[in-house]
Amino acid sequence: MMDHHQKDGLAGAVREALLHAVTHLEPSLMARLDWMYRETMSATEALGPDDGKKDRYEASLEVLAMIRENLAIADATGLPMCQDTGMVVAFVEMGPDVQLSMQEIGEALDSGIALAVRDGFFRNSVVLDPVFDRENTRTNLPAVVHWFPKNSGGLTIRMMLKGFGSENCSALAMLNPTAGVETVLSTILDMVRNAGGKPCPPIVLGVGLGGTAERALLLSKKALLREVGSVHPDPRYARLEQQLFDSIQGLHIGPGGFGGPLTALAVAVEYEPTHIAGLPVGVSISCWADRTAVVQWGGAQ
Amino acid sequence: MRREIRLPFDPGTISSLEAYDRVLLSGTVLVGRDQVHQRLSRLLQDGKDLPVPLQGETMYYMGPSATPDSMVIGSCGPTTSARMDRFVPALMEAGLVATIGKGPRSPQVIEAIRRHGGLYLIAFGGCGALYATKVVSQHILAFGELGPEALVRLEIRDFPVIVGIDSRGNSVFA
């Protein structure tokens, strides 16, 4: 009985977190959007009347203004901010204080997602098989779930609603072990340049370095789940994040792809050990509607 | 600052619009995305009738989220246009004059727009809640079994877009 209670409670917490995420961005991301709006406005106002950049900057500023209006409407109406309510990607971290089994957690997660999809008027965006029938599951299930052990505390579920306009811009490169930081930088910049206006810029960039091919891409999602604007604890990787952030602005993709002065809202890099013969680089891009949610369940933190 | 335009487009209006122009659209559009484009293209290839004539029409690339009871439509912003690129020349050949979506387009689409004197309009990506307030009515025309991917007729009012490719083939993504 105890477990039934816990399961229902966890499902309810997942539902609540997703209903909030589909209509609201995290305060740190809202602050970044405000920053970009102010900066883009000053840059636009600073242009002379005949400046060739005027059209591009004004259109970019219009995109940022519409995003603000859209977020206000989503807040007021409870409508999803974007009709692509995505596929749920969940990182489940299990500490020693967790009293539920993996199966129970998985079931609670599924039912929490199904409830949010129904109550939040999500779009049914998941199909059963990728190649042949592509039959819609009508529940947005299954989610993509990754399981991790944790040394202390209870259960932490980090989720994102991953839209596919941006997910289709994901990329992997297997670099030489001697590539070095310059090649890592230029490889990632090429990936972002190729994505261009397609992933609904302004973007949040997640980069995964090391591991194996699939691990690098997983790390890039882990990076996207970090709080927007947080800095990597290793100063070398923190510098890499800053270099990427600055260089992406230099690509002049701009909001909506219109060529404005700023494109990146934030960059996060995660790394892990890798093989002597390789340097995997995984990249995941999030649109500005970078919808994330965290559920803590049981234990301290 | 924003020009108000009634749909369907008349040729004079189309040729007067230039890349980067800001526009508010009112009137009716068709809605279709990946599966609709594939099906319409197959019908054209097989020489069969389309569920709706495309002559003079505007196609909005969109698949809405679920409709709450109190509303006409759910969240309904644009999807990425590039995935529809390969279908555009044939659909414009069949009479489609304008498309609405987000993001860049292929050189083949730019060429088709120039050849037919059409338009590509850019809607604001991710702004689904905002666009829901610009929709007056919707009804399904065909392929209802596709759920959010059905072919739909939408009536819109003051629907904001920016001209992405004008009838002379000038593109904001050049």
Identify the CATH number of the domain in which residue A199 sits.
3.30.1330
Q: Are residues A258 and A180 in the same domain?
A: yes
Domain shared by A8 and A96, yes or no: yes
Q: Binning pLDDT at 50, 70 and 90, where does residue A276 land?
A: very high
What is the spatial distance between Cα A123 and Cα B116, in angstroms, rounded to a whole number?
A: 35
Claim to verify: residue A90 and residue A185 sit in the same structural domain: no
Decide if B77 and A82 are in contact by the 8 Å CB cutoff. yes
Do A148 and A191 fall within a single domain? no
Q: Is A168 on the interface with B (CB under 8 A)?
A: yes
CB contact under 8 A, A79 and B71: yes
Write out pLDDT tens, residues B54-95. Answer: 999 999 999 999 999 989 999 999 999 999 999 999 999 999
Domains with residue ranges and CATH for chain B:
3-165 (3.20.130.10)
Whether A300 has a pLDDT exceeding 70, the answer reads no
Asked whether residue A50 is assigned to any structural domain, the reply reads: no
Q: Nearest by CB to B74, from A62, A83, A125: name it.
A: A83
* A149 and A17 in a common domain: yes
Query: pLDDT value at position B148?
Result: 87
What distance in Å separates the CA atoms of residue A51 and residue A47, rounded to the nearest whole number? 6
Q: Which chain B residues are within 8 Å of A124, Cβ to Cβ?
A: 66, 147-148
Q: Is the pLDDT of residue A1 over 80?
A: no
- How does residue B1 score in pLDDT terms, banded at 50, 70 and 90? confident
Mean pLDDT of chain A, nearest integer: 96
ipTM of the complex: 0.94
Is B138 an interface residue toward A (CB < 8 Å)?
no
Distance CA B6, CA B1 (A): 16
Mean pLDDT over A231-235 rounds to 98
Note down the domain range covering A84.
Answer: 2-23+80-162
Task: State mean pLDDT over A283-292.
Answer: 98
Burial class from Cβ neighbours inside 10 Å (0-12, 13-18, 19+) for residue A129 reads: exposed
Does the residue A33 lie in any domain?
no
End-to-end CA distance of chain A: 25
Are B63 and A168 inside 8 Å of each other by CB? no
A126 and A172, same domain (yes or no): no
Assess whether pLDDT exceeds 60 at residue A2.
no
Segment A259-284 shows an average pLDDT of 98
Q: Model confidence over B97-132: pLDDT tens digits? A: 999 999 999 999 999 999 999 999 999 999 999 999
Is residue A47 in some structural domain?
no
Q: CATH no. for residue A152? A: 3.30.360
CB-CB contact of B123 with B100 (8 Å)? yes
Q: How close is the nearest chain A Cα to the Cα of B168, in Å?
A: 17
Which of B 96-125 lie inside 8 A of A, CB atoms?
A: 102-104, 122, 124-125
Together in a domain, A157 and A252:
no
Minimal CA separation from A257 to chain B, in Å? 6
- Among A110, A138, A162, give the residue marking a domain's end: A162
Q: Are A186 and A275 in contact (CB under 8 A)?
A: no
Predicted confidence band at A98 (pLDDT cuts at 50, 70, 90)? Answer: very high
Domain boundary among A162, A193, A208: A162
Shortest CA distance to A205 belongs to which of A262, A250, A245? Answer: A245
Q: Do A180 and A277 have their domain in common?
A: yes
pLDDT interval class at A194 (50, 70, 90)? very high
Same domain flag for A134 and A90: yes
A185 shares a domain with A232 = yes
A64 in helix, strand or coil? helix
Please check whether residue B126 touches A, CB under 8 A.
yes
| Predicted confidence (pLDDT) at residue A301 exceeds the cutoff of 70 | no
Q: What is the pLDDT of residue A254?
A: 97
Same domain assignment for residues A177 and A106 = no
User: Residue B163: closest CA among chain A residues belongs to which residue?
Assistant: A59
- According to DSSP, the residues that pair with B162 across neighbouring strands are B22, B122
Q: Which chain A residues are within 8 Å of B132, Cβ to Cβ?
A: 73, 77, 79
pLDDT tens, A159-173?
Answer: 999 999 999 999 999
- pLDDT of B20 reads 97
Read off the pLDDT of residues A30-56 as tens digits, 9 standing for 90 and up: 999 999 999 999 999 999 999 999 999
Position B13 scores a pLDDT of 96
Q: Alpha-carbon distance A188 to A171, whole Å?
A: 9
